[in-house]
Amino acid sequence: MSPKAPITQDVMTIPRKLPEGKINLVGLTRDQLRAVLIEHGTPEKQAKMRTGQIWQWIYQWGVRDFGEMTNLAKAYRAQLAESFVIEIPEVVTRQVSEDGTRKYLCRIAGGHEVEVVYIPEEDRGTLCISSQVGCTLTCSFCHTGTQKLVRNLTAAEIVGQVMMARDDLEEWPVPGAPKDETRLLSNIVLMGMGEPLYNFENVRDAMKIAMDPEGISLSRRRITLSTSGVVPEIARTAEEIGCLLAISFHATTDETRDVLVPINKRWNIEELLQALASYPKASNSERITFEYVMLDGVNDSDEDAHRLIDHIKRHNIPAKINLIPFNEWPGAPYKRSSNNRIRAFANIVYQAGYASPIRKTRGEDIMAACGQLKSATERARKSRKQIEAEAGLQN
C-alpha cells in the first residue's frame, strides 16, 4: 500500500439542516412529487405541469432554492418554500488521491456517514455510491462488512450522492450540455457500502431518477449494480431498474464461497448461476460482470480459474470477469495474490474466451479502494469502545 499522504484533505461543513416538518422533494418519484404538491396546495389541474417544472429545476439544473425557479410565479415559489426543501447529504470531508480519485465522507440524517468515491478515467468518470450505512452481510474480506452500524439509505440519500458529486465537479449542465461520453460523471456503480438488493425500492427509485431524461439523464447502460447474490431480487433488478449487473462471485466452490461471501449459505453457487443465466437483460452487449477478488492461496489457483470458466460456460452466461487485486485494510485476514498469480489466472480466463481485465487499484492512499470503505468516525467509535473495554469500563 502507498505510504504517501493524500495530496489534499480539506474539510467542508455545509450546514443543511432539515427544518422541522418540511418535506424533502429529492428522491421522490414523479408520482410521489405530484402527490405532495397537491397535498400542499398545488391545484390538481396544474400539478402535472408543476411536477415537470420542479423536476427539471432539481435534476436538470441542480437548483436547491425555490427562489431560483424563475418560470414559477413568485407567490407559488414562496408557498413551496414553506412546505418543502431540496436536500442532499452534507459533505464532511473530501480527499483527493495522488491519482485524481476523490473520496467524500457525507453526513446523512441521524449523524450517520457514508463514503462516496469518484474515479476519473480517460474515457469516463465513475461515481461509486453507497446504498446502506455499513452492511448486514459479513463477507470476510470486506472492511464494510465489519461495521456494526447498519441502516438503509433513503432514495434521497442515494441520488443525493450523485447530486453532491455533480456539485463538487461543477457539472450541472448549461444549455447544450455535453453528452454522456464527455461528462465528468458519466457512470454510476453501486459498489460502495452496503448490499443494494437489501434496499431494493430506494435503490430503484434513486436510479430511476438518475436515468430520467429530463434530469441527470444517465443511460441505464452506464449504471452497474453490484450484488453479493441476493438471488430472489436479481430478476427484479432487470425488470424494475434495467441497469447492468455485477456479481461478487469470488469463489468457485460452495465450501470457499460460504466463508468469503456468507450469503452463499442461503443461496449457493448453483442457485446463483441459474438466476444469472436467466437475467432478462443479459446479452453479448450487456454482459454480466463477475467480480473476483484475488486472495493469496484462498481462491486464486489454476483449478479455480478453470472451475470459474466451467460454471459460466455450463450456464451459458454472457460474462466478463473482473479480477480485483485484494485491497488490504487494517486487520484484514487475507493477503493480495501476487501479480504473477493474478496474470496467470487472467490468462486462463482469457484463453477460454472471456474478457478478464485486472482492475486497477485506485485511491488506495486515501483508503478509497473497493472494500476499504468504512467511515472514519465509525473506526474511531470502535477503537474508543475497545479502549473502554480494555479499561474495564464497559458492562
Residue ranges binding ligand SAH (CB under 6 A):
135, 139, 141-142, 191, 194-195, 226-228, 248, 291, 293, 324, 326-327, 370-371
CB of 147 to ligand SF4, least distance (A): 9
Beta bridge partners of 290: 247, 321
Q: Quick one: 208 or 250, whose CB is closer to ligand SAH?
A: 250
Q: Quick one: 319 or 324, whose CB is closer to ligand SAH?
A: 324
Q: Quick one: 33 or 260, whose CB is closer to ligand SF4?
A: 260
Element (H, E) at 96: strand 90-96
115 is an active site residue = yes
Among 117, 139, 210, 346, binds ligand SF4 (CB under 6 A): 139
In b/e form, how buried is each residue of 156-192, taking b as 16+ CB within 10 angstroms?
bbbbbbbbbbbebbebeeeeeeeeeeebbbbbbbbbb
State the DSSP string of 264-275.
GGTS-HHHHHHH
Q: Quick one: 42 or 154, whose CB is closer to ligand SAH?
A: 154
Q: Which does 147 bind (CB under 5 to 8 A by kind): ligand SAH, ligand SF4, none?
A: none
39 is an active site residue = no
The Cβ of residue 99 has, within 10 Å, a number of other Cβ atoms equal to 17
> Contacts with ligand SF4 in 151-210 (CB under 6 A)?
194-195
* Helix axes of 200-211 and 155-168: crossing angle, nearest 10 degrees: 40
Q: Quick one: 195 or 205, whose CB is closer to ligand SF4?
A: 195
Q: Look at the block and give the residue holding cell 467542508.
A: 12
Q: Which does 326 bind (CB under 5 to 8 A by kind): ligand SAH, ligand SF4, none?
A: ligand SAH
CB of 380 to ligand SF4, least distance (A): 20
Question: Which range, of 64-72, 86-94, 142-150, 387-395, touches ligand SF4 by CB under 6 A?
Answer: 142-150
The Cβ of residue 74 has, within 10 Å, a number of other Cβ atoms equal to 10
Query: Which residue in 87, 90, 113, 115 is the catalytic one?
Result: 115
CB-CB contact of 142 with 332 (8 Å) = no
In b/e form, how buried is each residue of 86-98, taking b as 16+ CB within 10 angstroms?
bbbbbbbbbbbbe
Helix (H, G, I), strand (E, B) or coil at 288: strand
Among 28, 54, 85, 137, binds ligand SF4 (CB under 6 A): 137
Quote the CA–CA distance of 358 and 374 in Å, as a whole number. Answer: 24
CB of 219 to ligand SAH, least distance (A): 21
Quote the CA–CA distance of 384 and 23 in Å, as a whole number. Answer: 36
CB-CB contact of 296 with 338 (8 Å) = yes
Among 145, 160, 215, 325, binds ligand SF4 (CB under 6 A): 145
Q: Which does 293 bind (CB under 5 to 8 A by kind): ligand SF4, ligand SAH, none?
A: ligand SAH
Quote the CA–CA distance of 213 and 124 in Å, as a whole number. Answer: 19
Residues with Cβ within 8 Å of 229's Cβ and at least 6 positions away in sequence, in order, are 247, 248, 261, 263, 264, 267, 272
Q: Quick one: 85 or 246, whose CB is closer to ligand SF4?
A: 246
Q: Quick one: 37 or 165, whose CB is closer to ligand SAH?
A: 165
Question: Which range, of 87-95, 139-147, 172-180, 328-336, touches ligand SF4 by CB under 6 A?
Answer: 139-147
Question: Which range, of 72-80, 141-149, 251-259, 313-321, touches ligand SF4 by CB under 6 A?
Answer: 141-149
CB of 328 to ligand SAH, least distance (A): 7
Residues with Cβ within 8 Å of 266's Cβ and at least 6 positions away in sequence, in order, are none
Q: Which residues bind ligand SF4 (CB under 6 A)?
A: 135, 137-139, 142, 144-145, 194-195, 228, 248
Residues designated catalytic: 115, 370
